[in-house]
Amino acid sequence: MSRTVTIARGLVRAAFVVQIVLGVIFWTGNALGLKNLHMLIGFILVLALETIVVAAARRGMEVGLVILAAVWGVVTVLLGLTQESILVGSAHWVIRVLHLLVGIGAIGLSEALAGRIQSGATREPRLSS
């Protein structure tokens, strides 16, 4: 696996752990002053995901998975930036859970792509008629 993908994968994993810890702290109503740090780490996580996406695309990985991961990264950032203004009130927990699930999805997609890069997988050849 290329050094770039190895570093990006490590960043995603480290960021994930920090994000989960910060998220739990926020859900309990503590350390809300660290939201900017949470956002910065989220950006780093998504940049690392997008780095893996570019590497996967350059290696000819499955186009659908590459596009899904690229779009998922954008959605992750947009949801993170706007979540406080969505479903404000007693139903806001739905957005918090969605934010958590979208973040976990970003991790899963980065792992899936990095794993395929590591194994040397490429897009399946097309059958010619």
Selection from 81, 123, 72, 129 nearest residue 102 by Cα = 72
Q: What is the pLDDT of residue 79?
A: 96
Selection from 36, 38, 10 nearest residue 22 by Cα = 38
| Cα–Cα distance measured from residue 97 to residue 76, given in angstroms and rounded to the nearest whole number | 13
Torsion of CA 72, 77, 81, 83, to 10 degrees: 30
- Which two tokens mark 105? 């999805």
Q: What is the pLDDT of residue 51?
A: 98
Is residue 52 within 8 A of residue 114, CB to CB? The reply is yes
Q: What type of residue is 93?
A: W
Selection from 75, 76, 99, 77 nearest residue 87 by Cα = 99
**pLDDT by residue (tens digit) across 46-84?**
999 999 999 999 999 999 999 999 999 999 999 999 999
Torsion of CA 77, 81, 86, 91, to 10 degrees: 80
Q: What is the pLDDT of residue 2?
A: 86
Q: What is the mean pLDDT of residues 107-128?
A: 80
Asked whether the predicted pLDDT for residue 125 surpasses 60, the reply is no
